[in-house]
């Protein structure tokens, strides 16, 4: 593996094999700047482009990644190679070292302006579990589930960066005396993996499965906060609405696809066969190992590799009707759940609809989230030559409603 001159980089999940993109402010405010994480530092990309150390047509001097995302794969690869050169070749050290800012001195902000947000439902285990909990006595999967990656359009304006406090939503929920209004009593998480679109498309121009890498820039962690009581009452017949739209947290780092060449694994076989537009010459999923911590207790380790629908199929499906893509569009996998109870990506499943509380390390018991609770989701993937790719974390703390009603 290439040796990096940055202290702590070699052997780190944030060595030169990873180089995720983000945006930051220096502590206490200041302007938004783009950066790349290396070890426990952020390389100031604006500073690097201003000094002509990297040439990206000014895209790295912008406050969000969007202009860079729009450049496309050839430019993404060129810039990444240049960053690797700058961080590994000793002759660049004197010029680049002043552009490294310790992570402890920055606030990480939302790295890209979110275009449209689509959320899928692509884990067979998750869909089956939710079917059992929400629709007992009925078939686990709806008749369409194996024929198309089910999804819905979410609310882009409430996608927030990791660390943003999550205000407990209020809404209608069912009771034996009819619907009542109030703060959600069944606030939950959904551990997901998000895909960030770089290159847009024209209206009426679907993206085939084999063009995935031409349009998708990279991958970020997602926590799709969900109010199960609001959701259960509102979701039929049109799907998720206020039970989901109050907040969706994303990680501060977007890991470029180039970092994930060694993380692709064969995706599960599909039965029955899919329609031609969803077929793939080689079905590939990403071998991300996700960890969910609830108030510091590791409660689950969802495996992403087993997802039934792949990100390439999701992109093909969401554009097959001619819907166009915009730079900054985000689509998320849906809750990632494996076969075992300690592999599920939601607390709905972990506590089986709230009927089987979990015990945290501090001795307390939980079914759903309480005010003050913090959830941290992290992930890693295999990198080249035995290295590890780190995705950072997406974290959020639940706070009570801000206003008295």
Q: Which residues are catalytically annotated?
A: 126
| C-alpha to C-alpha distance for 354 and 368, rounded to whole angstroms | 7
User: At residue 177, what are phi and psi to the nearest 5 degrees?
Assistant: -100, 20
Minimum CB distance to Ca ion smaller for 154 or for 285: 154
At closest approach, how far in Å is the CB of 404 from Ca ion?
30
> Going along 231-357, which residue ranges are E strands?
248-250, 255-256, 264-266, 284-286, 289-294, 297-300, 330-332
Q: How far is the CB of 164 from Ca ion (least distance, A)?
A: 17
Q: How far apart are CA 102 and CA 93, in angstroms?
A: 16
For residue 214, the minimal CB distance to Ca ion (Å) is 26
Bridge partner residues of 183 (DSSP): 170
The length of the chain in residues reads 405
Mask 111-130, x = binds Ca ion (CB under 5 A)? Answer: --------x-----------
Which residue, 223 or 387, has its beta carbon nearer to Ca ion? Answer: 223
Residues 134-173 that bind Ca ion (CB under 5 A): none
The token duo for 65 is 């990644």
DSSP H helices, 106-252, are: 124-134, 212-215, 228-234
- Nearest distance from C-beta of residue 141 to Ca ion, angstroms: 16
- Looking at the Cβ atoms of 190 and 373, the one nearer to Ca ion is 190
- Contact characters 63-102, Ca ion, x per CB under 5 A: ----------------------------------------
Radius of gyration over every alpha carbon of the chain, rounded to an integer in angstroms: 21
Q: Is 190 in the site for Ca ion (CB under 5 A)?
A: yes
* Rounded-to-integer distance, Cα 118 and Cα 314, Å: 10
Work out whether 349 is an interface residue with Ca ion (CB under 5 A). Answer: no
Question: Are the beta carbons of 309 and 122 closer than 8 angstroms?
Answer: yes
Sequence-distant (6+) residues with CB within 8 A of 374 are: 294, 295, 296, 395, 396, 397, 398
Closest to Ca ion by CB, 62 or 190 = 190
Answer for the pair 196, 391: CB distance below 8 angstroms, yes or no.
no
224 binds Ca ion (CB under 5 A): yes
Q: Cβ of residue 183: shortest distance to Ca ion, in angstroms?
A: 21
Pick the piece of the chain touching Ca ion (CB under 5 A) from 13-21, 65-73, 188-196, 378-386.
188-196
Q: Give 398's strand partners.
A: 166
Quote the least distance from Cβ 179 to Ca ion, whole Å: 23
Least separation in angstroms between CB 73 and Ca ion: 28
Does position 287 interact with Ca ion (CB under 5 A)? The reply is no
The residue with its CB nearest to Ca ion is 224
- First-to-last alpha carbon distance for the chain, in angstroms, is 58
Rounded Cα distance between 162 and 334, Å, is 18
Question: Which of 116/224 has CB closer to Ca ion?
Answer: 224
Which run of H or of E encompasses 313? helix 311-319
Nearer Cβ to Ca ion (62/224): 224
Pick between residue 190 and residue 287 the one whose CB is nearest to Ca ion: 190
Does position 188 interact with Ca ion (CB under 5 A)? The reply is no
Which residues does 223 contact at the CB level (< 8 Å), separation at least 6?
Answer: 189, 190, 191, 192, 248, 249, 375, 377, 394, 396
Q: Which residues bind Ca ion (CB under 5 A)?
A: 119, 190, 224
């Amino acid at each position: 593996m290439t040796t990096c001159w940055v202290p702590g980089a070699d052997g780190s999940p944030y060595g030169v094999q990873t180089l995720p993109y983000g945006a930051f402010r220096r502590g206490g405010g200041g302007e938004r700047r783009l950066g790349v994480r290396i070890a426990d530092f952020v390389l100031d990309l604006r500073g690097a482009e201003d000094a002509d150390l990297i040439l990206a047509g000014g895209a790295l001097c912008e406050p969000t990644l969007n202009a860079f995302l729009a450049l496309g794969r050839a430019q993404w690869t060129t810039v990444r190679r240049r960053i690797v050169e700058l961080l590994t070749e000793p002759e660049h050290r004197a010029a680049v070292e002043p552009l490294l800012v310790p992570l402890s001195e920055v606030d990480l902000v939302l790295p890209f302006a979110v275009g449209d947000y689509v959320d899928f439902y692509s884990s067979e285990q998750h869909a089956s579990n939710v079917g059992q909990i929400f629709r007992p006595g009925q078939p686990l999967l709806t008749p369409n589930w194996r024929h198309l990656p089910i999804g819905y359009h979410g609310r882009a304006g409430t996608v927030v960066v990791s660390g943003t406090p999550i205000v407990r939503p209020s809404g209608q929920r069912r009771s034996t005396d009819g619907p009542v209004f109030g703060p959600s009593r069944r606030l939950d998480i959904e551990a997901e993996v998000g895909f960030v679109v770089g290159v847009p498309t024209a209206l009426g121009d679907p993206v085939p499965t084999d063009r995935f890498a031409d349009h998708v820039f990279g991958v970020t962690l997602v926590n799709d906060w969900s109010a199960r009581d609001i959701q259960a009452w509102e979701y039929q017949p049109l799907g998720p609405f206020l039970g989901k739209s109050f907040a969706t947290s994303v990680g501060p780092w977007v890991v470029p696809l180039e970092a994930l060449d060694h993380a692709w694994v064969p995706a599960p076989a599909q039965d029955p066969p899919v329609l031609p537009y969803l077929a793939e010459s080689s079905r590939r999923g990403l071998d991300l190992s996700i960890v969910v911590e609830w108030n510091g207790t590791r409660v689950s380790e969802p495996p992403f590799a087993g997802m039934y629908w792949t990100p390439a199929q999701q992109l093909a499906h969401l554009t097959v009707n001619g819907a166009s893509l915009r730079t900054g569009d985000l689509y998320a996998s849906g809750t990632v759940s494996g076969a075992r109870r300690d592999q599920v990506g939601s607390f709905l499943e972990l506590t089986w609809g709230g009927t089987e509380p979990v015990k945290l390390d501090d001795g307390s018991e939980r079914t759903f989230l309480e005010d003050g609770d913090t959830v941290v989701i992290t992930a890693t993937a295999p990198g080249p030559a035995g290295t590890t790719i780190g995705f950072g974390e997406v974290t959020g703390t639940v706070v009570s409603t801000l206003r008295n009603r």
